[in-house]
Amino acid sequence: MDDLATLEQAAALVHRYMPPTLQHAWPLLCERTGAQVWVKHENHTPIGAFKLRGGLVYMDALRREQPQVAGVICATRGNHGQSVGFAARAQGLEAVVVVPHGNSVEKNRAMRALGAELIEHGHDFTAAQDHAKELSESRGLHMMPSFDPLLVCGVATYGLEFFRGAPDLDTVYVPIGLGSGICGTITARDALGLKTKIVGVVAERAAAYSLSFAAGKPVATNSVDTMADGVAVRVPDPAALEIILKGCERIVTVTEEEIKAAMRAYFADTHNVAEGAGAVPLAALLQEREKMAGKTVGLILTGGNVDTSVYQSVLMAA
């Protein structure tokens, strides 16, 4: 899945449904960070997040390889579920999405609008995922993983676009949820034969991948408590961690206040809405401002799907 020809095929598929997203070097953001900063605007896909790419590639392969499948089910905090809903509808498949209680109200609405059946279960992503696995068996639905080589291949298409559209990047900061985003970025970099450093970013209150990176093996946490729901993962995926250990330069941990400050900075400097997970790369760069001064840096703005009430409180806290 990591050779350039395969990624090019995936990009051609993705671009049937959406154009390449743009990358911009915003002057105010460069001024704020002290670096030449390029932002990859994955908040501008048809679902407002990068996840769509992986869903399209996975669902296309599923339809071709298992034509008997009538429907799919997944667990999500929102963006993966929107991707599944969008891609399933494009392939004429039923989509069932399981979310934890207290999930983003507006992400839930968006998933329903895409035709997905929404089920609320459990207190976090892992509990929702366990329930989805049970339902997949009882209802005869294909269990759509949150991490898979096909998902990584699809997500890697933003990396192809970014590395070609903003060449000579010294470092790219990528959020880590379950891992498809950073693994896709690593995959695209390696397929293109580049030396760009990839830095992962996690929330301090969802530090499983940071702990795992330091230990060199999966380390789960007992709970997650971050407003950046897209990175609220307490059990690392072993396959994702293996790729991260080989291809990631380091992992930066950011606080809740740093995430909120980055969300405000994105709006002030670019007038783009960044959800918590989408803002963590900028939060990490601001934390490492002195280290990265004068360098050419990429930030993956992975999504802009934040509830209005949450975003209002973040902006008003300035």
Residue of 197, 194, 186 lying closest to 164 (CA atoms): 194
Residue 50: which of 125, 154, 129 has the closest Cα? 154
Ranges of each domain in the chain: 4-50+149-316, 52-143
pLDDT at res. 2: 67
As given in the structure block, the two tokens for residue 273 are 């809405």
Strand pairing partners for 197? 171
Structure tokens at 268: 């002030």
| One CATH from 3.20.20.150, 3.40.50.1100, 3.40.50.410, 3.30.590.20 for 52-143 | 3.40.50.1100
**Which residues in the chain show pLDDT less than 50?**
none
pLDDT tens column, 299-308: 999 999 999 9
> What are the pLDDT digits (tens) for 58-82?
999 999 999 999 999 999 988 899 9
Q: How far apart are CA 207 and CA 221, in angstroms?
A: 8
* Of the candidates 62, 119, 109, 59, the residue with the CA atom closest to the CA atom of residue 89: 59
Q: Say which CATH topology domain 4-50+149-316 has.
A: Rossmann fold (3.40.50)
52-143 shares the fold of 4-50+149-316: yes
Global model pTM greater than 0.75: yes
- pLDDT tens-digit series, residues 185-224: 999 999 999 999 999 999 999 999 999 999 999 999 988 8
Query: Strand pairing of 117-120 and 94-99?
Result: parallel
> For residue 157, how many other CB atoms are within 10 A of its CB?
29
With contact defined as beta carbons under 8 Å apart, do 280 and 37 qualify? no
Residue 146: predicted pLDDT: 85
